[in-house]
Amino acid sequence: MITKLVMATNNANKLREAREILAPLGIEVLSQREAGANCDPEENGTTFAENALIKARAVFEATGLPTIADDSGLCVEAMDGRPGVYSARYAPEGQHCSKLLDEMKDVPEEKRGAAFMCTIAYVDGNESSTMSGECKGSIGHEMRGTNGFGYDPVFMVGDRSMAELTPDEKNAISHRGAALKALYEYLSKK
């Protein structure tokens, strides 16, 4: 039975979500910093799973503790799945939404489908596994809302953007939440 694992991140929002979802299993989730892992591996994979495994393996090597890591991004149908694994590097900091809206300005409503994708990797010694989650929606025509971050203000779920949802509403449908729930099922059998 696992009682402690490391999440290969120092992002407070990701940690809070993982801690909340895994709490019923009695698993303590440490941040990379709390576990003493001072590493920042290059995410040079071509899929979310490859990047998540790169991070999880690096932090496992540094700590010797079971480790989880996630990689996520936005996949837009009209852009052949871009920005995908390159979502964080798609535009300079703070300009992701405006660049995406500009690139999508002439795309008709019926071709604006998109999905947030997340893959979580679990690594413990020679054992590794990945779980994925997605949240389907579409790209809006303007930025809306003040909650969330990244592409949330332009990612529409129904008639509201992700940035207009409360944290609880977002967690209930989010790609990371879905992947964490799959991780919960995986860990509950260990």
Q: Is 102 considered catalytic here?
A: no
Average confidence score pLDDT of the chain? 94
Round to whole Å and give the CA distance between 168 and 127.
Answer: 33
pLDDT score at 59: 97
CB-based burial, 73-108: b 16+ in 10 Å, e otherwise: bbbbbbbeebbbbebeebbeeeebbeebbebbeebe
Q: Please give the tally of structural domains in the chain.
A: 1
Q: Which of 8-17, 58-67, 97-106, 130-139 has the lowest mean pLDDT?
A: 8-17
pLDDT digits (tens, 9 = 90+) for 130-177: 999 999 999 999 999 998 788 999 999 999 999 999 988 988 899 998
Residue type, 66: P
Catalytic residue selected from 70, 71, 80, 159: 71
pLDDT digits (tens, 9 = 90+) for 81-112: 999 999 989 999 899 999 999 999 999 999 99
Round to whole Å and give the CA distance between 178 and 31.
Answer: 20
**DSSP designation for 125:** T
Q: Which residue range forms the structural domain that includes residue 74? A: 4-188
User: Which CATH number do you get for residue 98?
Assistant: 3.90.950.10
- Residue 1 · residue 25 · CB < 8 Å: no
Query: Global pTM?
Result: 0.90
Round to whole Å and give the CA distance between 84 and 41.
Answer: 19
- Answer yes or no: is pLDDT of 20 > 90: no
